[in-house]
């Protein structure tokens, strides 16, 4: 897979794409990330990439021309068809399901906005979709692009080693992950749920599933809305809820 990124901070993108699983995916030839700077395509003497918005008001808007020239240059760097995505708080939310869809595409071109945003006509004419990584405002799309590259890069076939398998990740089945514990000199096995030390694999799997369901119910009830639980999951969750309600420190509303 190839990902081209248009950004006024191309070095940030290059660096981010060199670390961890994404860096390893690039070394393995599974992913190629290239960064392009729209400023290199500005035509005036000052290499300007922004201008005041029509209608006045505070802030600046990214000029269309350097972006279009930069996008065209990036497009020509490969014959693979590309989906063009702009990172912005106005986008639809990036989810694990979306990451899966994008990970199967041969090529993405990501556009990172700065200032107050991009000229709307550039978005209408050149961009296939806008994506947001959450309901908060960043100073630019670069961090969001790095998030997207990570989420998509780790899903490339062969990017993860067996032990890191993506199938068990949070959200793969629409639930949060269960808690994990490992050896600690300082704490020994103190605070580790006894079932995890029992060696009974069926019981451990049951406990993990119940924790996933329970945590999702406590922390992200929105993920459970509209989700149909099978009888086994419904029982596990009901048991978790009963224990939680009987336990100390239960929140008022649960
Ligand atoms: N750019 C600024 N804020 C953003 C966000 N929340 N998601 C994606 N891109 C952004």
Task: Return d(Cα 133, Cα 95) in angstroms, integer.
Answer: 8
23: left (phi over 0), alpha (psi -120 to 50) or beta: alpha
pLDDT attached to residue 164 = 72
Model confidence pLDDT, tens digit, residues 133-180: 999 999 999 999 999 999 999 999 999 987 677 666 777 789 999 999
Probe target for ligand 1 pocket from 88, 112, 130, 148, with the most ligand atoms within 8 Å of CB: 88
pLDDT attached to residue 134 = 97
Supply 96's token pair: 């694990």
Residue 108 has pLDDT above 80, yes or no: yes
Taken in order 220, 163, 167, 94, the sign of the CA dihedral is positive
Phi, psi (5° rounding) for residue 71? -60, -45
For the chain, the farthest-separated pair of C-alpha atoms sits apart, in whole angstroms, at 71
Model confidence pLDDT, tens digit, residues 208-239: 999 999 999 999 999 999 899 999 999 999 99
How wide is the angle at C-alpha 145 spanned by C-alphas 117 and 38, nearest 5°?
A: 55
Residue 251 has pLDDT above 60, yes or no: no
Q: What percent of the chain stands above pLDDT 90?
A: 88
Quick check: CB of 137 below 6 Å from ligand 1? yes
Residue 51 has pLDDT above 90, yes or no: yes
- Report all structural domains of the chain as residue ranges with CATH numbers, in order of start: 2-153 (3.40.1280.10), 170-254 (1.10.1270.20)
Length of the chain: 254
Asked if 96 and 148 count as a contact pair (C-beta separation under 8 A), the reply is no
Quick check: CB of 167 below 6 Å from ligand 1? no
Q: Residues with Cβ < 8 Å from 87, sequence gap 6 or more? A: 110, 111, 112, 113, 130, 131, 132, 133, 141, 144, 145, 148
Task: State which ligand 1 atom lies nearest to the alpha carbon of 113.
Answer: 1
Quick check: CB of 139 below 6 Å from ligand 1? no
User: What distance in angstroms lies between residue 132's CA and the mean position of ligand 1's atoms?
Assistant: 5
């Amino acid at each position: 897979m190839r990902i081209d990124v248009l950004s006024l901070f191309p070095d940030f993108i290059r660096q981010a794409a060199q670390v961890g699983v994404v860096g390893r995916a690039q070394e393995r030839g599974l992913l190629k990330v290239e960064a392009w700077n729209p400023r290199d395509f500005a035509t005036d003497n000052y290499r300007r990439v922004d201008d005041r918005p029509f209608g006045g008001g505070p802030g600046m808007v990214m000029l269309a021309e350097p972006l279009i020239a930069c996008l065209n240059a990036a497009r020509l760097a490969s014959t693979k068809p590309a989906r063009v995505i702009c990172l912005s708080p106005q986008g639809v939310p990036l989810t694990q399901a979306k990451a899966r869809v994008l990970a199967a595409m041969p090529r993405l071109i990501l556009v990172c906005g700065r200032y107050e945003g991009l000229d709307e006509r550039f978005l209408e004419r050149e961009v296939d979709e806008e994506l947001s990584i959450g309901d908060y405002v960043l100073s630019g799309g670069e961090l969001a692009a790095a998030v997207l590259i990570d989420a998509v890069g780790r899903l490339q076939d062969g990017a993860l080693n067996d032990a890191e398998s993506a199938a068990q990740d949070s959200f793969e089945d629409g639930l949060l992950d269960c808690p994990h514990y490992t050896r600690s000199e300082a704490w020994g096995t103190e605070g580790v749920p006894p079932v995890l030390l029992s060696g009974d694999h069926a019981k451990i799997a049951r406990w993990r599933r119940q924790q996933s369901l329970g945590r999702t119910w406590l922390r992200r009830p929105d993920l459970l809305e509209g989700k149909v639980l099978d009888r086994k999951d419904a029982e596990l969750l009901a048991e978790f809820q009963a224990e939680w309600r009987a336990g100390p420190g239960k929140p008022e509303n649960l």
